[in-house]
Amino acid sequence: MEIINNGIRPDHQVIFDMIEPGSRVLDLGCGTGDLLQLVARDKDARVQGIELDEHAIYECVRKGLSVCQSDIESGLAEYPDGSFDYVILNQSLQEIRKVFFLLREALRVGNRVIVGFPNFAYINARVCLGLGGKAPMTPSLPYRWYDTPNVRFLSISDFRSFCAEQGFAVRKACFLNGERTITFWPNLRALGAIFLLSWEEKKGR
Amino acid sequence: MRQPADRERSSGFFITYKTKRSLKVFSHPRIFYRGANTKAAAGKEPMKAVLKTESSETTPDGCNRSLGIVETRYYTFAEPPGTLALESGETLGPVTLAYETYGTLNPEKSNAILVLHALSGDAHAAGLLRDEEAPGWWDAMIGPGKPFDTDQYFVICSNVIGGCKGSTGPSSVNPQSGQPYGTEFPFVTIADMVHAQRRLIDFLGIDRLLCVVGGSMGGMQALQWVASYPERVRSAIPIATALKHSPQQIAFNEVSRQSIMADPAWREGNYYETGQPEKGLSVARMIGHITFMSDQSMEEKFSRKLKKGHLNFNFDVDFEVEGYLRYRGANFVKRFDANSYLYITKAMDYFDLSGGKLINGRAVDTRFLVISFQSDWLYPSYQSQEIVRQLKLKRVDATYCELKSTYGHDAFLVELEGQTTLIHHFLEKTYLGPRNGNGNHQ
């Protein structure tokens, strides 16, 4: 399926479509706030960002957004349970050390968590490593082995198993290859994935 | 307002060494210390503020129009039989507040901003007074086309009670005795200062302030405004401040107070006939200036430069840093009352909105912009982060940023570029309404 592109990043469009109007939304690592601005304006959402970079914060404030400076791992600590309808964790899961802790925290603070990450099992990455014998580089993994900020290397299948083990229910999953979403063989064909998670019913924390 | 140590940076501070002006003898508490002007050089340095707006008023070098001549006004309330009840249980009255306003209050009265000054500041935040050369202490931030844009907003600044810049304080005449209060003056707290300001805001006919903003002790007042009158504040900008003083901050204040009280000229506070404890007060101020700078800014400004190019082998000024501190101390005693220094530092030490007292129960829809500075070791960023933690706990809309700066605590007066960007857009967003971009509704 082709995503209608209005100059909006495909992953932002997918996340945007997952959010119910009028929600409270927290974006962990919101960058310059493009996604939050979109969600605030067109979904009438109450939004809050967390970002480390000073100049990215200036950009957010220029857009009228509220942002607290913090790193992702310590940014959630003080929020009371259920403060947000959605917590977004887009394109930073692979850079997080305490993955399980962070996702539990996100599901404490938010009722739903939207996680977007690059797929390390994308076919080109497999070819790169399996046939080329070199650390994979793909459009969603553009770094070389010595300058990558990534510390976690996961595939879509890995993440699905992880969610099942931890008791996270996958409410929606969307797989991206450039401008297109795909449904067939995503673990091989998708550059990245976006999951909508909640706690499994009854399981609680 | 204490002068930022680095205003004279570009030209070296020695140009500001001026002939010592004699302390003007005061006959009325309102004009006490007004005459002495230590801000001579401040206005001459090109401002660093670069306001990135479309304003046609922005001149090529980034300076904006000044407010021109402004005037200090006085508002007196709690006249007999009324009094102002203080947190200590004592009362004060009548109470006079010196204040200045810039810009025009709109018909809806929705564009009023209250600017709150720091320890040694005054009501003169911007523009020029008739008899002074230098502009107000935050002139770079307040004026046409500046972040607190007087073409758009109505800006108010008042001197705190306990001060000596026209508001009722220990140097004012006690109506009971006909003599200056001295140490008969009741202890005042940050909350008392804010309750007095509320009377002024009532008098000006303003129900809800668009913003309360201040740095250091001004930030404490901004926080206290939200704690005491959340429904009257649409937004708050506490800068380089804390919910409470740490033991280290109290310690610096205590050493300053001891320095004043150890001066024989202090005479238990009754020095208004004999002249104030200049030695003690100037040492107190020197301590202050050390804490306002950072190790790096002192290195950059003074290094180990010698005043005369060689060592003196006596106890005169050898190093430039010594000359600077002596100069600051000597200037300060001309414009500030030692008893006010004692009272106001106590008020700061007593201040404590920690442990949930900032947002106490009522639903607060006040927006916050919290700012700290990387090299500020007097009010370190962890104290601002504690404010942010309290806001998150109560789900209050908050923006926080630690700005990169090497100026130490002084940064809130001199590190203007980041503050300019953040404050300009934060205010605009608050003013234009909660639904534009980021809904502020719960």
Cβ A54–B401 below 8 Å, yes or no?
yes
A48 touches chain B (CB under 8 A): yes
* Domains held by chain B: number: 1
Cα B388 from Cα A50, distance rounded (Å): 12
Does A80 fall in a domain? yes
Domain that holds residue A52: 10-119+151-183+193-199
Q: How far is CA B283 from the centre of its chain?
A: 20
Residue carrying the six token digits 């979403």: A181
Nearest to A66 among B398, B402, B436 (CB): B398
A59: CATH: 3.40.50.150
Q: What HEC string does B125-193 produce?
A: CCCECCCCCCCCCCCCCEECCCCEECCCCEEEEECCCCCCCCCCCCCCECCCCCCECHHHCCCCCHHHH
Q: What is the ipTM of this complex?
A: 0.92
Point out which residues pair with A110 in neighbouring strands. A84
**A75-116 pLDDT tens trace:** 999 999 999 999 999 999 999 999 999 999 999 999 999 999
**Residue A144, in any domain of the structure:** no
Residue A51 inside a domain? The answer is yes
Cα A161 from Cα A102, distance rounded (Å)? 17
Instruction: Inform me whether the C-beta atom of residue A64 falls under 8 Å from chain B C-beta atoms.
Output: yes
Interior CA angle at B314 toward B308 and B317, to 5°?
Answer: 45
Cα–Cα distance, B332 to B155 (Å, whole number):
27
Higher-confidence residue of B55 and B323: namely B323
Give the Cα separation of B92 and B185 in Å (integer). Answer: 8
Q: Is residue A168 part of a domain?
A: yes
Q: Sign (positive/negative) of CA torsion B122, B126, B130, B132?
A: positive
Contact residues for A194 (Cβ-Cβ < 8 A; gap 6+) = A11, A14, A15, A18, A90, A114, A115, A116, A173, A174, A175, A176
Give the three-class secondary structure for A137.
coil
**Is residue B186 one of the residues assigned to a domain?**
yes
Number of domains chain A contains: 1
| Residue A111 C-alpha, separation from nearest chain B C-alpha, in angstroms | 15
Residue count of chain B: 442
B75, B203 contact by CB (below 8 A): yes
Q: Is residue B283 part of a domain?
A: no
B90: buried, middle or exposed (CB in 10 Å: 19+, 13-18, 0-12)? middle
Q: Would residue B67 count as lying in a domain?
A: yes
Is the CB of residue B52 less than 8 Å away from at least one CB of chain A? no
- Would residue B197 count as lying in a domain? yes
Least Cα distance to B249 among B339, B383, B410, B52 occurs for: B383
Decide if A125 is inside a domain: no
Cα angle for residues A30, B427, B5 (degrees, 5° grid):
95
CA distance A190 to A176: 5
Domain-embedded: residue A106: yes
Q: Is residue B278 part of a domain?
A: no
- For the stretch B344-391, pLDDT in tens is 999 999 999 999 999 987 678 999 999 999 999 999 999 999 999 999
Instruction: Assess whether pLDDT exceeds 90 at residue B57.
Output: no
| B216 given a catalytic annotation | yes
How crowded is the C-beta side of A88, counted as CA atoms within 13 Å? 28
pLDDT at A2: 57
Q: Report the gap between the CA of A48 and the closest CA in chain B (Å).
A: 8
| Nearest one of B150, B122, B153, B149 to B136, comparing CA atoms | B122
Read off the pLDDT band of A7 (50, 70, 90): confident
Set of chain A residues whose Cβ sits within 8 Å of the Cβ of B421: 58, 61-62
B403 touches chain A (CB under 8 A): yes
Give the nearest chain A residue to B368 (CA atoms): A66
Domain span at residue B151 reads: 21-246+353-432
Upstream peptide bond of B60 is cis (omega within 30 degrees of 0):
no
Least confident residue range of A84-98, A184-198, B13-27, B326-340: B13-27
Output the domain CATH number for residue B362.
3.40.50.1820
pLDDT, one tens digit per residue, over A35-83 is: 999 999 999 999 999 999 999 999 999 999 999 999 999 999 999 999 9
